[in-house]
Amino acid sequence: MEQTENNEQIIKVLSFILSKLDTLEIEQSRHKEMFYKVRENLTNANDLINQILDVLELENPELYDKTVEQYKDSHLKDMVSTLDKHILEFDEDQILELLTHIVGDA
């Protein structure tokens, strides 16, 4: 009888652990999707900025040079490459901090 109770407890604990692992897997998948969406949005924003800079280069070369110089000093490019390299290493707090920086810099 005692052996049966122990087996039942072990089964309950294992079931609980497996359900938590499933939950973690689902959450990880959601975060991964969010990162891909953020990256896609950053890429689209970059394309738009490049188009604006092309027009600015023709219309006002001095302002274009000043804008490009400010961009070179920016760390926005580094954030995108960091996002690509470490996409699966962030926890939820780091994700929020990174997104806050991206939105602030954009």
What the block records as the tokens of 30 is 């959601």
% of residues, the chain, pLDDT over 90:
0
Q: Report the phi/psi class of residue 60: left, alpha or beta, with left for phi > 0 and alpha for psi in -120 to 50.
A: beta
pLDDT value of residue 106: 45
The rounded average pLDDT for each run of 10 residues, N- to C-terminus, in the chain (106 residues) is 82 87 83 82 83 84 81 65 66 69 55
Length of the chain (residues): 106
Question: Which residue is associated with the tokens 């407890």?
Answer: 9
Q: Whole-structure pTM over 0.75, yes or no?
A: no
